[in-house]
């Protein structure tokens, strides 16, 4: 006989679900109305507003009474907004593929599941897709646990007129994916070489007998593991769903605090949120003390520099270009006057974008 209390709670859940459904529908109708307003402006108004989405998520997490953890509230409302935005404008998001890579996981973290994801083969292909308006936005790795600093992305940012419209921080969890019966049956492990390096201790300890085979991406590794008997791949949860592989072991990375960063590239200028970052690239003729001269105003303004990267310049007149990330938005008063000072010393100066600071969640 069914437990009476259980039935009482199930009735309550049914009634609550009806309310949630009605509320979701009202919310979606509001988003649709906003979509019409955006569409009817004489000056084009962006449909996707990451700064607004960030505010929505943060407000709800702050208000969260429990028992659901903030992370789950974020994930659920991320999907609600994704579905609402799709009613306003179906979004095409290009990313560095193949499917099942961590870059795809970054797309879904930022945009939710209601976007059309377009995997492309190279980073320049992703830039081209956005430039030619075949995609609304593109996602590329910036500092990737599997490749370190992604120099290709920096080079493309330097050349292209696209802007950085967001950063996505993703905690990387490596899993051993396979259709083998057990760990002892695994004969070969495929992965990007950096992923193999990051799981070395675990692999030595639990499957010392397996042959380690580096391949071009963890997505590719999963694709191979799905067809080859007794093969395994190191990849994320996404790849396990996509290639139908079981997770033989989860969280096998030796360093558990492994976060990687991806960039959203697009054509959009975002408004300040109060918690933003600005990326810029500068250069000047090389002379002793150049870097100090370029950076001195940042220290004087007491602004946090979160990243500094130097790259050989393509044009011979400057030997190096410097990629700098600062806290603040280019339209914040203080940041604007700091940028004006840096611009005065630099012979080449370009703001790559101001965008909301990403969260690790
Ligand atoms: C509804 C809007 O459009 C989009 C959908 C949002 C939402 O569902 O809350 C938020 C920002 C936009 O990406 C809006 O601009 O407010």
Q: Is the CB of 115 under 6 A from ligand 1?
A: no
96 & 83 share domain? no
pLDDT in tens, 179-215: 999 999 999 999 988 889 889 999 999 999 999 999 9
Of the residues 257, 277, 296, the one at which a domain ends: 257
Any domain includes 1? no
- CATH code of residue 25: 1.20.59.10
Any domain includes 215? yes
Share of the chain above pLDDT 70, in %: 97
Q: Residue 357: how many CA atoms within 13 Å on its side-chain side?
A: 15
162 & 113 share domain? yes
pLDDT in tens, 77-136: 999 999 999 999 999 999 998 888 889 999 999 999 999 999 999 999 999 999 999 999
Any domain includes 38? yes
315 has pLDDT over 70: no
163 has pLDDT over 80: yes
pLDDT at 146: 56
- CATH code of residue 331: 3.30.70.260
Across the chain, mean pLDDT equals 92
Confidence of residue 316 (pLDDT cuts 50, 70, 90): low
Alpha-helix runs per DSSP H in the chain: 4-39, 50-63, 70-88, 102-111, 123-131, 151-159, 193-198, 200-206, 218-227, 237-243, 290-300, 333-345
With CA atoms as reference, report the closest residue to 73 among 85, 86, 92, 60.
60
Angle made by CA atoms 339, 303, 296, in degrees to the nearest 5 = 65
For residue 90, the CA-to-ligand 1 centroid distance in Å is 13
ipTM, two decimals, is 0.99
What's the CA gap between 276 and 166, in Å, rounded? Answer: 9
Q: Is the CB of 57 under 6 A from ligand 1?
A: no
133 & 147 share domain? yes
Which atom of ligand 1 is nearest the CA belonging to 49? 13
Of the residues 232, 257, 282, the one at which a domain ends: 257
- CATH code of residue 231: 3.40.190.10
Of the residues 199, 234, 257, the one at which a domain ends: 257
β-partners of residue 320 are: 312
Residue 198 structural domain: 175-257
Q: Is the CB of 52 under 6 A from ligand 1?
A: yes
1 vs 143 pLDDT, higher one: 143
Q: Is the CB of 91 under 6 A from ligand 1?
A: no
Any domain includes 9? no
110 & 245 share domain? no
Report residue 226 as tokens.
């799905």
Domains contained in the chain, number: 4
Q: Is the CB of 329 under 6 A from ligand 1?
A: no
Q: Best substitution site from 23, 39, 49, 55 to test ligand 1's pocket, by max atoms within 8 Å of Cβ?
A: 49
123 & 264 share domain? yes
For residue 271, the CA-to-ligand 1 centroid distance in Å is 14
Report residue 128 as tokens.
């081209």
For residue 24, the CA-to-ligand 1 centroid distance in Å is 14
122 & 264 share domain? yes
pLDDT in tens, 43-59: 888 999 999 999 999 99
Q: Specify the residue with its C-alpha closest to ligand 1, atom 8.
A: 81
């Amino acid at each position: 006989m069914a437990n009476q209390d259980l039935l009482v709670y199930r009735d309550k859940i049914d009634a609550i679900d009806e309310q949630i459904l009605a509320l979701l529908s009202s919310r979606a109708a509001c988003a649709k109305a906003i979509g019409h307003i955006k569409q009817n402006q004489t000056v084009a108004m962006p449909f996707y507003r990451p700064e607004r989405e960030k505010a929505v998520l943060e407000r709800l997490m702050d208000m969260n009474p429990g028992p659901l953890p903030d992370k789950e509230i974020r994930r659920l409302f991320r999907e609600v907004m994704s579905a609402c935005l799709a009613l306003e404008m179906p979004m095409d998001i290009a990313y560095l593929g193949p499917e099942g890579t961590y870059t795809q996981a970054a797309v879904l973290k930022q945009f939710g599941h209601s976007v059309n994801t377009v995997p492309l083969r190279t980073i320049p292909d992703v830039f081209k897709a956005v430039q030619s308006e075949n995609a609304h936005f593109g996602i590329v790795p910036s500092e990737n646990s599997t490749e370190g600093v992604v120099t290709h992305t920096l080079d493309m940012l330097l050349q292209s007129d696209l802007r950085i419209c967001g950063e996505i921080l993703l905690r990387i969890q490596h899993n051993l994916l396979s259709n083998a019966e057990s760990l002892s049956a695994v004969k070969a492990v495929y992965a990007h070489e950096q992923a193999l390096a990051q799981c070395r201790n675990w692999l030595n300890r639990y499957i010392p007998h397996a042959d380690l085979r580096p391949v071009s991406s963890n997505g590719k590794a999963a694709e191979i593991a799905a067809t080859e008997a007794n093969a395994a791949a190191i990849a994320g949860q996404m790849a396990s769903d996509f290639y139908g592989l079981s997770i033989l072991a989860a969280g096998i990375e030796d360093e558990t605090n492994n976060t990687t960063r991806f960039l959203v590239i697009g054509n959009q200028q975002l408004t300040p949120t109060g918690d933003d970052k600005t990326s810029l690239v500068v250069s000047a003729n090389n002379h002793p003390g150049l870097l100090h001269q370029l950076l001195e105003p940042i220290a004087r303004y007491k602004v946090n520099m979160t990243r500094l990267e130097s790259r050989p310049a393509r044009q011979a007149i400057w030997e190096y270009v410097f990629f700098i990330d600062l806290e603040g938005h280019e339209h914040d008063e203080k940041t604007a006057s700091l940028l004006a000072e840096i611009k005065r010393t630099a012979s080449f100066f370009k703001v790559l974008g101001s965008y909301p600071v990403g969260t690790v969640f």
